[in-house]
């Protein structure tokens, strides 16, 4: 399974996409029809967009390519209907302005608002051309009598689906921006290509021209004749004002134009997109508007104006006038301002560009007048009140979905923001050592050597935390002797003098070159406040682990969102003054964290490729190691500092990092939640289509345009989403503290209510409003008025299929989230409950601090501690250890004297005689350390674990001579025992080889094993004994099992967040299903009543409805459960020890989904089934 998951799927998908795209593009390019050529250009432009992912980011080629894709889609949409090849170079002109700004930027000339202008222009191009493509399709449909959602035919159905998919795909690419991955782009283009392949194989002539409606298919009228008739018609109407005649008719007009009525009607329908009567009415209303505003006609009565423009009936004039203006003639006469003849658009006249986008002032502006907006809001409010249940479900679902999305987005952006606040963070890298056992630490001299030898490196620094024995991260004792202030402080580092050249932190006070001198200390401003209050700390002295140092500078600390933090910095110069020949500073010691800052424009991959050959001039390695480095088996890797927190999990990480996989999981959850609430809105809106159909039919009969109706439904969607967004912000504020507790974060109200976040969330809200309103708007506005008003309209099979498909999709999402949650729970419980191979219950650890006078741990004090603690009732055993289980362990090579070529990296552990009894360690072979053996006390005997025995290929290791290549010199000794494997690290990692030595001087953690009762009394007695011996330092302890539980804190927090949102996703899906069931059953009320009359019981009706929804839920489970399992395999692969899943999670997820979903529907079904049939059949 792991090998299969490690295949280069992205590269395979990329290759497949390119091959399919090029083949389809070439075939289409050589087709004889113009539309196929434009389709080929569209396909090839998507491949250009894909290839732009590999271009340098500074050129912004991906944005230009995306704009080119949008333009190509518009051109293909136009040619699909017209099949004409036009000069399209003018459509590339909008790209000139952003191209100029990009060229200037590349040449080093930056304008103040150049970036904003370029970004805004390219985004505007994409949006405008996408809307233009949709508008073109809608306009052509009106002219040709096409109803997109009323069985338009296979070719038009394909084009509709292709256009909608293309628009959604390009919109997703636009919104994803820099976060768009190569595999996402490739997958979208591959589906794009298969769209085309499918239709080519299904219908070989689908690229041929689309004919006009059947009405004029047999017409003998040529294009030249059409143009001549049209020219004479325009002259007759505009110059001679033929429409002012009250007795005008189609036959009279055809006689004037010397043509037949059939040909004239065809010209008017095809060129003016209207009928003869509509055409005459538009001209008459235009003339009437001019007369009503003319000063000389102010005293003229309305009926006289009507007669002047050709109307014999005042009521007919009023009806026509209000139809085209939204006002009665009297209201229009009283309004201020009127458009001139030049501003009025004549019927059939070419529209301005923005009117093609549905923004025609002729149709839209009347609806945006104050009284019309007020009327729309009143109707919207009344509809909400009349449909309380559906409105509440829609609003509540959108509110909860938006609120969850806001909180998840806060978490995701927080995780993605690590180390990005540092100045020039994009040019800072950490050097990591990649081998069989990769780690973050490399040799100390490497940083300065790179800055000196490699011209690509601008600055470099080396640092190392003030670690305890075994390289475990420890606190240090910091004391202000004068003020008698003493604390244990974490995050003290030894650093190079160039630290502030790489990490350009602000120097608040003191000398910025303070780290160049020995015995200087640089502290953060928070530390200065803590130890000196408002006094000036410069020149003052602090004792750090009893070593006096002088404060020479105060700096701002690392940003909160950093992969490591600092409290105090001591220069390496100080350590070198103490011990100039310290091997810690040599090339042989991989014990430091090295960071470099590259110069602008440096390619890190090329710099990384130079390191192996360069570094070998400094490393005195055997030939085999040198060959491995040159061949890439071993590597010095450059880790971008911005990626360390989420993508690096090597040995010796300075702090616990996050996991990019959890960001992916929560991002998927966010997207799934938004899709669920959008699907709920779409389903509930279209399910009520029978009621809205009558409204649409009446409005269309009274003259409403499809574009206006579409705008109305979009506005309804927008208002719903804006209301939900406002409520979601309030709900997010109420839930913020709970979310902080569950996620372990510390978000504040300012994180939500900042302009950037509000604009992003509002933009997302508007995008979702358009997405959720798109299908209902175009579906409802496309109803045929005659069919609706005759009562022949019913929910189409295709519409039901769409709704069913959306229900399946959202419950498929819910099943993915549920099974993922159950798998995470099972894995975490497995890790918590798995036997670790030692006893960690009721064990506390107490830190033992080194003594400067002694130069290490005071063994007499440690023995006193153990003796005093051992006399306390409730204490079973005491011991000491260098590294606590679950912490970090230093590693060095071990090998047998008779086979030195088999070197095994082993973790190191120093113990005393009481360690094994305190932790309950079991011996597999040999013995534990015994004070009666002099060799044990001399440190010449070793204990290894079973993993080390296997790695050394030993069957009987007792008595074997072993060499341990430890710091600072190699040690030789004899193996006296083999301890059974125990998990001294987390279950994320397999058990590594371990070597144990008796060396109490390095065992700086006391272990106290207690009885499992009277904890508080025992702890109080231990504290009293401790303070009697160590009066300076406060008593501090930690339970060992709590420390081990913290190893899985990241998983638990993710589980908390993920489980809650997964549950909410299921709740929202069920809420939508409830509303959908209510709407559909209301439509089937008569059917249910007839069934009851024929003898059906409520249980029969319940079973009938349940079977319908159960099929949908079964299909959702069939798709969702395997998908969830496949997705979670990668997460489980993060652990060396994985739970056996079995069928229980899948059965539980299925039962939970079916129970909750069908249970939410049952109340509605029972209510409908128990209704009196007479109420529904009274008028039948």
For 568, phi then psi, to 5°, come to: -150, 150
- In angstroms, the first-to-last Cα distance of the chain is 63
pLDDT at residue 49 in the model: 83
pTM above 0.75, yes or no: no
Between helix 388-416 and helix 370-386 the angle, nearest 10°, is 100
For 644, phi then psi, to 5°, come to: -65, -45
Q: Are 466 and 849 in contact (CB under 8 A)?
A: no
Q: Are 329 and 284 in contact (CB under 8 A)?
A: no
Give the Cα separation of 223 and 435 in Å (integer): 76
> pLDDT tier at 200 (50, 70, 90 boundaries)?
low
Residues 6+ apart with CB under 8 A from 907: 889, 890, 891, 984, 992, 993, 994, 995
Handedness of CA 368, 369, 374, 375 (dihedral sign): negative
Give me 450's structure tokens: 């790179």
The CA-atom distances, in angstroms, between 32 and each of 36, 80, 757 are 8, 13, 51
- pLDDT, one tens digit per residue, over 203-249 is 555 555 555 444 555 566 666 677 778 777 877 777 778 778 877 88
Question: Would you call the peptide bond into 316 cis, given omega within 30 degrees of 0 as the criterion?
Answer: no
> pLDDT tier at 320 (50, 70, 90 boundaries)?
confident
Over residues 1018-1031, the mean pLDDT reads 90
pLDDT at residue 331 in the model: 77
Q: How far is CA 438 from the centre of its chain?
A: 29
Burial class (CB in 10 A: 0-12, 13-18, 19+), 74: buried
SS3 assignment for 840-868: CCCEEEEECCCECCCCECCHHHHHHHHHH
Give the Cα separation of 768 and 677 in Å (integer): 9
Over residues 662-684, the mean pLDDT reads 83
> pLDDT tier at 1153 (50, 70, 90 boundaries)?
confident
pLDDT at residue 538 in the model: 94
Give the Cα separation of 1155 and 1142 in Å (integer): 21
SS3 assignment for 520-580: EEEEEHHHHHHHHCCCCCCCCEEEECCEEEEEEEEECCCCCCCCCCCCEEEEHHHHHHHCC
Give the Cα separation of 136 and 356 in Å (integer): 7
pLDDT greater at residue 349 or residue 50? 50
Q: How far is CA 104 from the centre of its chain?
A: 33
> pLDDT tier at 640 (50, 70, 90 boundaries)?
very high
- pLDDT, one tens digit per residue, over 747-797 is 888 888 887 788 888 888 887 777 777 766 666 656 566 555 555 555 554
pLDDT at residue 762 in the model: 83
- pLDDT, one tens digit per residue, over 869-885 is 999 999 999 999 988 89
Whether the pLDDT of residue 416 is over 70: the answer is yes
- For the chain, the maximum distance between any two Cα atoms, rounded to a whole number of angstroms, is 129
Give the Cα separation of 717 and 779 in Å (integer): 14
pLDDT greater at residue 482 or residue 1167? 482
User: Which segments of 1084-1097 does DSSP mark as H helices, in order?
Assistant: 1085-1093
Give the Cα separation of 777 and 706 in Å (integer): 10
Give the Cα separation of 496 and 451 in Å (integer): 13
pLDDT greater at residue 288 or residue 347? 288
Q: Which of 70-84, 356-370, 452-466 has the highest mean pLDDT?
A: 452-466
Give the Cα separation of 908 and 903 in Å (integer): 15
> pLDDT tier at 154 (50, 70, 90 boundaries)?
low
Over residues 1087-1093, the mean pLDDT reads 74
pLDDT at residue 355 in the model: 40
Query: What DSSP character marks residue 276?
Result: H
Whether the pLDDT of residue 959 is over 80: the answer is yes
Give the bridge partners for 460, in sequence order.
596
Q: Are 921 and 915 in contact (CB under 8 A)?
A: yes
- pLDDT, one tens digit per residue, over 569-605 is 999 999 888 888 888 889 988 889 999 999 998 999 9
% of the chain at pLDDT higher than 70: 80
Give the Cα separation of 777 and 779 in Å (integer): 6
Give the Cα separation of 369 and 669 in Å (integer): 41
User: Which segments of 588-653 does DSSP mark as H helices, in order?
Assistant: 604-615, 623-630, 641-647
pLDDT at residue 1107 in the model: 77
- pLDDT, one tens digit per residue, over 430-470 is 999 998 788 899 999 999 999 999 999 999 999 999 865 44
For residue 433, which of 227, 273, 639, 609 has the smallest C-alpha distance?
Answer: 639
Give the bridge partners for 1075, in sequence order.
none
Name all domains of the chain by residue range, CATH numbers in brackets: 2-202 (1.20.1070), 213-325 (1.10.10.60), 441-602 (no CATH), 798-838+1040-1180 (no CATH), 850-1032 (no CATH)
Lowest mean pLDDT among 80-84, 129-133, 1005-1009: 80-84
Give me 862's structure tokens: 């440690």
Average pLDDT over the chain reads: 80
% of the chain at pLDDT higher than 90: 23
Over residues 1125-1138, the mean pLDDT reads 79
């Amino acid at each position: 399974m792991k090998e299969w998951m490690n295949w280069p799927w992205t590269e395979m998908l990329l290759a497949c996409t390119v091959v399919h795209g090029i083949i389809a593009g070439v075939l289409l390019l050589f087709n004889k029809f113009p539309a196929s050529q434009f389709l080929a250009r569209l396909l090839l432009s998507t491949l250009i967009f894909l290839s732009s992912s590999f271009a340098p980011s500074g050129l912004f080629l991906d944005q230009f390519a995306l704009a080119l894709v949008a333009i190509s889609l518009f051109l293909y949409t136009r040619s699909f209907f017209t099949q004409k090849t036009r000069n399209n170079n003018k459509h590339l002109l909008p790209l000139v302005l952003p191209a100029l700004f990009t060229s200037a930027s590349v040449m080093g000339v930056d304008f103040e608002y150049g970036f904003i202008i370029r970004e805004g222009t390219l985004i505007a191009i994409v949006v405008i051309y996408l809307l233009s493509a949709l508008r073109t399709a809608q306009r052509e449909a009106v002219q040709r009598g096409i109803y997109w959602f009323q069985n338009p035919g296979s070719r038009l159905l394909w084009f509709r689906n292709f256009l909608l998919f293309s628009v959604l795909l390009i919109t997703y690419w636009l919104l994803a921006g820099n976060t768009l991955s190569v595999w996402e782009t490739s997958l979208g283009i591959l589906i794009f290509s298969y769209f085309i392949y499918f239709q080519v194989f299904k219908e070989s002539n689908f690229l041929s021209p689309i004919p006009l409606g059947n009405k004029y298919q047999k017409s003998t009228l040529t294009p030249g004749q059409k143009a001549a008739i049209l020219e004479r018609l325009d002259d007759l109407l505009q110059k001679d004002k033929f429409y002012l005649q009250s007795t005008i008719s189609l036959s009279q007009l055809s006689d004037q134009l010397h043509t037949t009525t059939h040909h004239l009607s065809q010209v008017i329908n095809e060129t003016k997109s209207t009928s003869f009567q509509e055409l005459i009415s538009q001209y008459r209303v235009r003339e009437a508007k001019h007369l009503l505003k003319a000063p000389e006609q102010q005293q003229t009565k309305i009926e006289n104006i009507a007669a002047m423009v050709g109307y014999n009936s005042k009521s007919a004039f009023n009806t026509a006038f209000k139809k085209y203006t939204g006002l009665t003639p009297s209201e229009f006469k009283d309004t201020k301002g009127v458009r001139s003849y030049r501003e009025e658009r004549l019927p059939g006249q070419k529209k301005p560009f923005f009117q093609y986008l549905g923004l025609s002032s002729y149709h839209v502006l009347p609806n945006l007048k104050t009284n019309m907006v007020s009327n729309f809001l009143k109707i919207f409010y009344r509809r909400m009140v009349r449909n309380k249940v559906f409105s509440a479900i829609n609003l509540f679902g959108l509110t909860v979905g938006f609120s969850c999305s806001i909180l998840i987005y806060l978490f995701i952006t927080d995780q993605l923001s690590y180390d990005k606040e540092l100045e020039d963070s994009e040019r800072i890298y950490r050097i990591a050592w990649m081998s069989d056992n990769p780690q973050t630490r490399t040799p100390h001299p490497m940083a300065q050597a790179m800055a000196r030898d490699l011209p690509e490196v601008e600055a470099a620094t080396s640092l190392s935390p003030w670690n305890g024995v075994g390289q475990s991260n420890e606190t240090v004792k910091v004391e202000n002797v004068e003020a008698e202030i003493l604390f244990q402080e974490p995050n003290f580092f030894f650093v190079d003098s160039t630290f502030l050249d790489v990490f350009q932190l602000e120097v608040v006070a003191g000398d910025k070159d303070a780290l160049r001198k020995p015995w200087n200390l640089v502290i953060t401003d928070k530390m200065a406040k803590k130890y000196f209050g408002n006094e000036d700390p410069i020149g003052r002295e602090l004792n750090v682990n009893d070593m006096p140092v002088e404060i020479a500078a105060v700096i701002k600390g690392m940003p909160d969102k950093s992969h490591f933090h600092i409290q105090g910095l001591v220069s390496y110069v100080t350590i070198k003054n103490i011990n100039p020949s310290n091997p810690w500073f040599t090339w042989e010691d991989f014990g430091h964290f090295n960071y470099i800052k590259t110069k602008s424009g440096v390619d890190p991959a090329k710099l990384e490729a130079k390191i192996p050959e360069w570094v070998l001039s400094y490393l005195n390695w055997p030939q085999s190691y040198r060959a491995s480095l040159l061949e890439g088996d071993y590597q010095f890797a450059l880790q971008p500092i911005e990626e360390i927190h989420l993508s690096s999990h090597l040995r010796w990480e300075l702090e616990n990092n996050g996991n990019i996989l959890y960001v992916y999981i929560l991002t998927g959850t966010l997207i799934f939640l938004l899709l669920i609430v959008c699907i709920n809105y779409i389903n509930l809106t279209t399910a009520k289509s029978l009621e809205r159909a009558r409204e649409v039919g009446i409005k269309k009969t009274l003259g409403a345009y499809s574009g206006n109706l579409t705008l109305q439904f979009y506005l309804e969607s927008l208002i719903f989403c804006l209301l939900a967004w406002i409520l979601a912000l309030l709900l997010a504020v109420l839930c913020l503290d709970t979310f902080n507790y569950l996620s372990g974060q510390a978000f504040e109200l300012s994180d939500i209510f900042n302009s950037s976040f509000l604009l992003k969330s509002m933009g997302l809200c508007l995008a979702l409003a358009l997405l959720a309103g798109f299908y209902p708007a175009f579906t409802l506005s496309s109803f045929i008025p005659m069919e609706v008003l005759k009562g022949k309209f019913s929910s189409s099979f295709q519409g039901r299929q769409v709704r069913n498909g959306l229900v399946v999709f959202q419950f498929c999402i819910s099943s993915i989230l549920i099974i993922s949650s159950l798998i995470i729970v099972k894995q975490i419980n497995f890790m918590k409950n798995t036997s670790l191979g030692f006893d960690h219950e009721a064990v506390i650890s107490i830190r033992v601090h080194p003594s400067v006078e002694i130069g290490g741990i005071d063994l007499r004090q440690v023995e006193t501690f153990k003796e005093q603690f051992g006399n306390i009732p409730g204490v079973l055993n005491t011991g000491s250890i260098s590294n606590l289980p679950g912490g970090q362990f230093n590693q060095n090579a071990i090998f047998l004297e008779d086979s030195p070529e088999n070197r095994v990296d082993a973790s190191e552990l120093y113990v005393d005689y009481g360690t094994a009894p305190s932790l309950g360690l079991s011996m597999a072979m040999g013995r534990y350390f015994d004070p009666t053996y002099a060799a044990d006390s001399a440190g010449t005997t070793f204990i290894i674990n079973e993993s080390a025995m296997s790695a050394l290929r030993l069957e009987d290791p007792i008595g074997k001579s072993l060499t341990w290549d430890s710091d600072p010199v190699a040690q030789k000794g004899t193996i006296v025992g083999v301890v059974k494997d125990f998990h001294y690290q987390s279950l994320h990692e397999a058990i590594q080889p371990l070597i144990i030595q008796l060396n109490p001087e390095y065992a700086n953690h006391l272990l106290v094993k207690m009885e499992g009762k009277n904890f508080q009394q025992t702890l109080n007695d231990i504290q009293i004994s401790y303070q009697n011996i160590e009066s300076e330092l406060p008593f501090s302890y930690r339970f060992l099992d709590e420390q081990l539980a913290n190893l899985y804190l990241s998983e638990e927090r993710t589980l908390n967040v993920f489980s809650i949102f997964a549950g909410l996703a299921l709740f929202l899906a069920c809420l939508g299903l409830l509303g959908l069931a209510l709407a559909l059953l209301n439509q089937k009320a008569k059917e249910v009543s007839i069934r009851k009359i024929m003898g059906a019981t409520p249980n029969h009706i319940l079973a009938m409805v349940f079977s319908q929804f159960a099929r949908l839920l079964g299909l959702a489970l069939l798709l969702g459960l395997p998908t969830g399992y496949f997705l979670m395999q990668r997460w489980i692969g993060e652990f060396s020890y994985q739970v056996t899943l079995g069928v229980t999670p899948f059965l539980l997820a299925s039962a939970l989904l079916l129970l909750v979903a069908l249970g939410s529907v049952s109340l509605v079904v029972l209510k409908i089934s128990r209704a009196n049939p007479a109420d529904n059949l009274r008028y039948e």
